[in-house]
A and B are shown apart, each in its own frame.
Chain A
Amino acid sequence: MDIDISPLIENWQFILTGLGFTLALSALSIALGAAIGLVGGVLRTYGGKLLDSAIGLYVDVVRSIPVLAILVWTYFAFPLVIGESLTPFSGGVLALGVHLGAYITETIRAGLTSIRPGQMRAALALGMSRFEAIRTIILPQALIRMLPPLGSLIVIAVKDSAIASVIAVPELLRQSQVLAGKTFRPFEIYTAAMLIYFLICYPTARTIDRVYRRLGVLGAS
């Protein structure tokens, strides 16, 4: 098998555009997922029975459906509900963010419930409101404790952004498909795509791991 990387070199801007979309899609869906997860996790833990059940339903529904199905539904079916079409990119951010949000919700809930009740008592005894106690005392510890699973979710979110290729978001995998079809060089191009994903995800995982090694002790009450 002869290897010819010239299609990559000639089309580097095309690949770079894909990388840009992958990074943007990942970052925005992680931001959306984190926002949903933060609010969802806190409300599920401290918001009373009704909110707990409602958010629990969201979590269970999302976790029971393949992310690909959620993506396709969001892009092709959801516009019929709202009577407004979505761009592939915003559809991708929405679907991936809502999907990720369910997992982050559960992770943050697990972190919050793992903090022993004495910490809340100590915060309340100082005169803090429950909200102040959660914000300044409980949540920071929970986030530190949950750094390893949150890190996994972030890395998975970057990888899952590739799924958006099916709704034609011009992200890395989609651009690679197009290029491979045009140049008949699938080996070189898909290998390069894999390498690029690895070069994003591996340092991300290592960085989060290193941060946890430094901060982990601060979450141990």
Chain B
Amino acid sequence: MIAKRKTKSRPRIGSGTAPILSFEGVVKRYGPLEALAGVSFQVHRGEVVCLIGPSGSGKSTLLRCANALETIDGGRVVLEGVEVHDRRTDARKLRRRMGMVFQNFELFPHLTVLRNVAVGPTTVLGMPQRQAAERATELLRKVGLADKAAHYPASLSGGQQQRVAIARALAMQPDVMLFDEPTSALDPETIGEVLSVMKRLADEGMTMVVVTHEMDFAKRVGNWIVVFDHGKVVEQGPPQQVFDEPTVQRTRDFLSHLGWHGESLAAADLLVQPSSTDP
């Protein structure tokens, strides 16, 4: 476990060791459209890598390529020595190691909150119902929703649903968590509760790849920022560099388009003051 991170000047975690997840020249085409045109970057254990960039620049596609929900047309994705897209690789075993959180939550509406979290362990790992329920209860407590265990997802707010979705992914005890714009579908007032759950996960040392438009989160929690544009990585580096001294014009354009001018953050903790995270 990694000790609590300092807010400023974090070194790249584990950069001396082999990456847990690496993307090497990943290409993905949809007909004539090249959604990913040779994307390369690495994720080290315990690191929070944030993928930013305009909509349609390939960030979400890349995330789906990471756990083989999409096939790729070139390059490779490697999870600790295992080729994700190799024919001989068992995609199901691989996906157990990577938890995924979706923009639209994708909770299972016909299952209670508890069953949503427990269904992975019972179905995939064959865990006995009682043991899975215990694990689920513990995870729901962790995301602050133990009292909602018997509810159905439809009766929860967006922020609560997304926290359940995080618990559901954690129930498989993954090595890496993939977040696909986890707060983009949320009301502004519930964004903060999801971000703070994610920040706590990061503080516990979870390896995370986060596609996000929340620049405050990326800057405060991210260890490594990867900037996408038109299916390419235009810049990557530690947050201080990308946000405060972007070397590439495209990054500057993108950030200023979001109203980010490189100034330091306000004193208030934006992660618990969700309304101020609005761009």
Contact = CB atoms under 8 A, between A and B. Distances in A.
Interface of A: 118-119, 121-129, 132, 136-137, 140-141, 144, 217-221
9 contacts: A118-B102, A122-B100, A125-B98, A125-B100, A126-B169, A126-B172, A127-B172, A129-B92, A221-B108
- Residue among A118, A127, A140, A141 with max Cβ neighbours from chain B (10 Å): A127
B108 A119 contact: yes
A219 B109 contact: yes
Given A118-B104, A127-B96, A218-B152, A141 B120 contact: no
Contacts of A127: 92-93, 95-96, 120, 124, 172
Interface residues of B, number: 26
B119 interface: yes
Interface string B163-198: 000001100100000000000000000000000000
A126 B168 contact: yes
A218 B110 contact: yes
Contact of A217 (B67, B120, B152, B172): B152
Given A124-B69, A128-B120, A217-B109, 9 more contacts: A119-B108, A125-B100, A125-B169, A126-B96, A126-B169, A126-B172, A127-B96, A128-B123, A221-B107
B106 interface: yes
B65 to A, nearest CB: 13
A220 B154 contact: yes
A214 to B, nearest CB: 12
A77 B92 CA distance: 49
A132 B125 CA distance: 12
B108 A122 contact: yes
B69 A125 contact: yes
Contacts of B64: 121
B119 A126 contact: yes
Interface of B: 64, 67, 69, 92-93, 95-96, 98-100, 102, 104, 106-110, 119-120, 123-124, 152, 154, 168-169, 172
B95 A144 contact: no
The 3 closest A-B pairs by CB, nearest first: A122-B106, A127-B96, A125-B100
Contact of B95 (A119, A125, A218): A125
A124 to B, nearest CB: 6
Contact of A119 (B93, B106, B120, B169): B106
Nearest to B122: A136
B102 to A, nearest CB: 6
Contacts of A123: 108
Contacts of A125: 67, 69, 95, 98-100, 169
Nearest to B108: A137
B208 to A, nearest CB: 15
Contacts of B123: 126, 128, 132, 136
B257 to A, nearest CB: 28
Nearest to B165: A122
A128 B96 CA distance: 9
Nearest to B96: A127
Given A118-B102, A121-B69, A126 B95 contact: yes
A140 B119 CA distance: 14
B90 to A, nearest CB: 10
A127 B172 CA distance: 9
A129 B168 CA distance: 17
Nearest to A141: B110
A119 B105 CA distance: 9
A122 B168 CA distance: 10
Contacts of A126: 95-96, 119-120, 123-124, 168-169, 172
B106 A118 contact: yes
A31 B98 CA distance: 41
B109 A218 contact: yes
B110 to A, nearest CB: 4
A128 B92 contact: yes
Nearest to A220: B109
Contacts of B69: 121, 124-125
A121 B109 contact: no
A118 to B, nearest CB: 5
Nearest to B115: A136
A136 B119 contact: yes
A221 B172 contact: no
Contacts of B108: 119, 122-123, 137, 141, 221
Contacts of A132: 123-124
Given A127-B95, A136-B119, A219 B110 contact: yes
